[in-house]
């Protein structure tokens, strides 16, 4: 079953055609990677899908509903949540508090009311805290629950950001370069975390430059160059695709 469908999407910035007539699907329960050389338009594609940018043309359908034109907040409430290439945690807040912020997407009282500690929010705040601890336990970061996010190692901050996204109960999680800045051990751990997220029933679409990670965890890969799709297939087929080798790896043989 298709969870996300991108059909004929284009986006231009002045004289630059950033995305051109792009189409691909993401199946429910899969891990799909979006790869390509620098400047290929990958982050722009993420911004279009998640509502941070409106497409000039084309359709984006999520869970059977056309979402192009919706705001990023509306898209998130419908079950599509993203992380960013550059970590966007609240640095002075604890790990627990950062994850609880994500959980407030589903709060009836709202984040501000809970911050003011109004009596009618106490029960809901307790449930949010309990759910946040469940997520931290899954990710192995409970020992850091009271630690300020800014004091964590970079790799741990990445995991906290993913935890905050999971707190939103996404159907589809968009990961923008989750292994950026990580060493080999941290990258391997990130691969384990992403695979575990899929086992939880969350579909994953990721942009990533680390090809060893992409080939290891992905069910399918979309390759883009200059905003256009040049290939879409399983990892082994992508590795052997001559056009991918020529454009992405720079092999003219």
For the chain, domains (ranges, CATH) are 1-79+174-253 (3.40.50.300), 87-169 (3.40.50.300)
pLDDT in tens, 16-46: 999 999 999 999 999 999 999 888 899 999 9
**Residue pair 170/5 in contact by the 8 Å Cβ criterion:** no
Q: What DSSP letter does each residue of 183-221 carry, written as one string? A: -HHHHHHHHHHHHHHHHTT-EEEEE-S-HHHHHHH-SEE
Q: 45-49, 60-64, 85-89, 137-141: which range is least confident on average?
A: 85-89
Q: How far is CA 201 from CA 59, 85, 114, 123, 162, in A?
A: 25, 23, 29, 27, 15
pLDDT in tens, 158-217: 999 999 999 989 999 999 999 988 999 999 999 999 999 999 999 999 999 899 999 999
Q: Which long-range contacts (CB under 8 A, 24 or more apart) does 14-19 make?
A: 17/226, 17/227, 18/44, 18/227, 19/44, 19/45, 19/48, 19/55, 19/227
Tell me the average pLDDT of the chain: 88
Q: What percent of the chain has pLDDT over 70?
A: 89
Q: What angle do CA 33, 176, 213 make, to 5 degrees?
A: 50
Instruction: Place 121 in a pLDDT band, splitting at 50, 70 and 90.
Output: low
Does the pLDDT at position 85 exceed 50?
Answer: yes
pTM here?
0.88
CB atoms within 10 A of CB 252: 6
**Residue pair 140/171 in contact by the 8 Å Cβ criterion:** no
**Residue pair 91/85 in contact by the 8 Å Cβ criterion:** no
CB atoms within 10 A of CB 28: 13
**Those residues with Cβ within 8 angstroms of residue 175's Cβ, 6 or more apart along the chain or in another chain:** 82, 83, 162, 194, 204, 205, 206, 207, 208
């Amino acid at each position: 079953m298709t969870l996300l469908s991108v059909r004929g999407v284009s986006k231009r910035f002045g004289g630059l055609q950033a995305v051109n007539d792009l189409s691909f699907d993401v199946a429910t329960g899969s891990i799909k990677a979006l790869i390509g050389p620098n400047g290929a338009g990958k982050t722009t594609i993420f911004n279009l899908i998640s509502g941070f940018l409106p497409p000039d043309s084309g359709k984006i359908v999520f869970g059977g509903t056309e979402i192009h034109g919706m705001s990023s907040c509306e898209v998130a409430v419908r079950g599509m949540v993203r992380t960013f290439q550059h970590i966007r945690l609240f640095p002075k807040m604890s790990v627990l508090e950062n994850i609880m912020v994500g959980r407030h997407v589903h709060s009836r009282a709202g984040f501000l009311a809970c911050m003011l500690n109004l009596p009618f929010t106490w029960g809901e705040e307790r449930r949010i805290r309990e759910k946040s601890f469940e997520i931290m336990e899954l990710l192995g970061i409970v020992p850091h629950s009271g630690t300020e996010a800014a004091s964590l190692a970079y790799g741990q901050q990445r995991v906290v950001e993913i935890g905050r996204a999971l707190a939103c109960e996404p159907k589809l999680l968009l990961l923008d370069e989750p292994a950026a800045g990580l060493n080999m051990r941290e990258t391997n751990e990130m691969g384990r975390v992403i695979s575990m997220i899929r086992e939880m029933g969350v579909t994953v679409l990721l942009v990533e430059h680390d090809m060893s990670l992409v080939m290891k965890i992905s069910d399918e890969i979309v390759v883009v160059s200059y905003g256009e799709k040049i290939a879409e297939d399983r990892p082994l087929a992508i590795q052997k695709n001559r056009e991918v080798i020529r454009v992405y790896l720079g092999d003219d043989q």
